[in-house]
Structure 1
Amino acid sequence: MPQDCERTPVVRDNGRHQWEKDRARAPRTVRATTGATERDTGLHPPDLVFHAEYRELPAPCPLAEAFGVPAGTLLLERSYRTRYGPESAPFALVTSYLVRGMIAANPDLLDATNEPWPGGTQSQLHTVGIELDRVEERLTARAPTPAEARDLDLPSGAPVIQLRKTSYDIDDRVVNIADVTLPADRTELLFTTRLERW
């Protein structure tokens, strides 16, 4: 698609995490109707082209430290690319990590052919008894690598937003780390902080 054409905008807000948690235990028929990408874009499942790749790898030191596990602990790395059908570039480049031993009780979670999983990661974790307590997101902006600029079909000079999403369970364990590279030319980040009343 030519770069001067308007792309599908994405509005990513922090309410998406509670929305996903509220749906994690819902019946599959409910979870399959829409996911976080549809929520963020206003599109419908038939509008989207989804691709997932999984591989196992020993945790390098930075990820091992983030998860609080020994270096070399086996991780499941999941790479996701979702795009609007008529467009050539995905909405984001997502790489997610899970500790394999935390999820191995459900072999379906180790198989990329089960993607897209209705209800997303929180629903997947629920199948092995993991409930999220909180999600921490750290954002930075930077120039894209040449591969990112190509994969996201970025116009010359457009930066990317780098998001590190860390999910903690109710026992304060890190259970998921996701690195999300977002094209800054078509992504809006919206954070609404609800304050409890006095």
Structure 2
Amino acid sequence: MASTSKGVPQYMQIAGTIREQIRAGTLQPGEQVPSAPSLCEQYDVSMITAKNALNLLKSEGVVYAVPGKATYVADNTRLIRTAPQRYFQRRERTYVQETERAGLRPTSEHSTETVTATRWIAQRLEIQEGDAVTATTYRISAGEHPVAVSTSWEPQAVTAGTPIAHPHEGPHGNDGLNARFAAIGWTVEQVEEHLLVRQPSPEERDDLRLAPEVPVVEIRQTVRATQDGDDLTAIEAADIVYASDRYEFRYIMDRPR
């Protein structure tokens, strides 16, 4: 190769160059990427190195291969997360809105259990440490690509014995948070979010199938609602981790009145 980055394997350097060409728009979705023999000639590397570079890009979902033909740039459409409108509009879950708006099919893997609130969760939900909460973990995909993983906690002091006690069961199992809690008389009034950009944990990198240099965006969220005109009550806390190269974060903020 004409230039090298010390300590970085050649196949990763080649994959990084192609990845940057895709991000810059030099290579467009559906366009053919250089073949392994072309990469061998261009970078003066072995066939194994060239194939490893292409396989890395395939594993990231950046490119895809058509057997007997060639390798092409994938259409990695970014989902758009618009706040605060996403919390107060429509009935379905927010990730469903965002995925379908991008023209992709949403899928969700989730698991729910009852746990006791840690000090950290208790502070966010304004309950006592050790109180029962319903914890649900999610892995959200858009089309073939995972885009987010998250964990949410709901206080059972609010939900126990109601039709929404389990987030994915009963008459409101397909509804989003806003509609679910509205069904038992709560109105979402406030959403607090703390946004952090950081490097993913090894587990997050695997779950989201992230390229080595791609960071994640973590949003630590607390949702508060009112019932019968009472004071704000925390009804959910959630830690949501997004693949930063698959999501766009858009904020519409009105002047305070």
The bucket for the TM-score relative to the shorter chain is 0.7 to 0.9
Tell me the equivalent position of 1:110: 166
Tell me the equivalent position of 1:90: 146
Letter in 1 for 2:236: N
2:240 to 165, 177, 180: 180
Asked which structure has the greater CA Rg, the reply is: 2
Gaps of 5+ in 2: 1-57, 64-73
Q: How does 1:35-184 map to 2 (within 5 A)?
A: 35-41=93-99, 42-43=101-102, 47-85=105-143, 87=144, 89-110=145-166, 112-114=168-170, 117-170=173-226, 171-184=231-244
Contact 1:8 1:84 in 2 (8 A): no
Contact 2:194 2:219 in 1 (8 A): yes
In the alignment, the residues of structure 1 paired with residue 97 and residue 132 of structure 2 have an alpha-carbon distance, to the nearest angstrom, of: 32
In the alignment, the residues of structure 2 paired with residue 48 and residue 187 of structure 1 have an alpha-carbon distance, to the nearest angstrom, of: 14
How far has the Cα of 1:186 moved from its partner?
Answer: 1.6
Tell me the equivalent position of 1:16: 86
Root-mean-square deviation (CA, aligned residues, Å) is 2.3
Distance 1:8 1:175, change over 3 A: same
Q: Which has the higher contact order (CA 8 A, sep 6+)?
A: 1
Distance 1:185 1:115, change over 3 A: farther
Gaps of 5+ in 1: 24-30
In the alignment, the residues of structure 2 paired with residue 70 and residue 142 of structure 1 have an alpha-carbon distance, to the nearest angstrom, of: 30
Letter in 2 for 1:60: T
Q: Secondary structure at the match of 1:122?
A: helix
In the alignment, the residues of structure 1 paired with residue 154 and residue 102 of structure 2 have an alpha-carbon distance, to the nearest angstrom, of: 28
TM-score, length-scaled by structure 2: 0.64
TM-score, length-scaled by structure 1: 0.82
The count of aligned residue pairs is 182
Distance 1:113 1:44, change over 3 A: farther
In the alignment, the residues of structure 2 paired with residue 128 and residue 115 of structure 1 have an alpha-carbon distance, to the nearest angstrom, of: 12
Percent identity over the alignment is 24
In the alignment, the residues of structure 2 paired with residue 138 and residue 165 of structure 1 have an alpha-carbon distance, to the nearest angstrom, of: 7
